[in-house]
Structure 1
Amino acid sequence: MRKLTINDACAIAGKRGGLCLSTEYVNANMQCANSYEWTTSLNNINNSKTWCSYCANKASHTIEDAKQVAFSKNGECLSKMYDNSFSPLSWRCSERHEWNASFNTYTALDKVGKYVFTMAYKKIF
């Protein structure tokens, strides 16, 4: 397999509706069609299944998804808007505790269990 060049990076970005902002081959500074910018290796932009991780995370969930997940845990999502799965949302548990956490963090609570979360919550607050 041949080594990618900066011209390859620009061509890939163009095909995906974005721009390559770099002028040399090191790590490429990229910008998607929604103006999000990030730095990545040229190999990543060529082989990644997603183009822009910001847009990919935003598109995968909505505020209604967050509210449904909270409801399924006998809790509540207090936020009105959803940006992406890494941005903080406001949550309230069944015991009326309120805190901010990303959608990813909140959904990961299923994996660690309520007891672990309760103990972590008490240590933090």
Structure 2
Amino acid sequence: MNYRILTGAVLLLCVSFGAAAQRQSEITGEIVDSEGAAIAHARVLVHWDSAGSTVGLSDNIGIQHDVIVTTDTTGRYSAVVPAGFYDVFVSAMAFTPTAAKVRVKKEQRITYNSTLRPDLLVSRELAH
């Protein structure tokens, strides 16, 4: 009898975690330079924009408002976030940072790609 209760509890827990995971949304993309080459280890900061969000504050209680990820060796990244409006900031050494506003709906996966331009001031200093 105890095994049935334990099995039922485990199944309920698995279903609960599965349902919670499905409510998440995702921002994915690729960061490249002006020639189309992948930028590895670029920093992508995804910041929840509470001022522009139409999602109720109660929907975002307990979330981490800033998600920071880095690109892999192919320039790709992925950030799991709740639905809402976000400011996405992309930066990498020797490149000019970029920023954009994106909206992610519940259970939606959106793509935000960015092309970074060389930072001429940093490039000149590295050349000397």
TM-score normalised by L of structure 2: 0.25
Could you say which structure has the higher strand fraction? 2
Could you say which structure has the higher helix fraction? 1
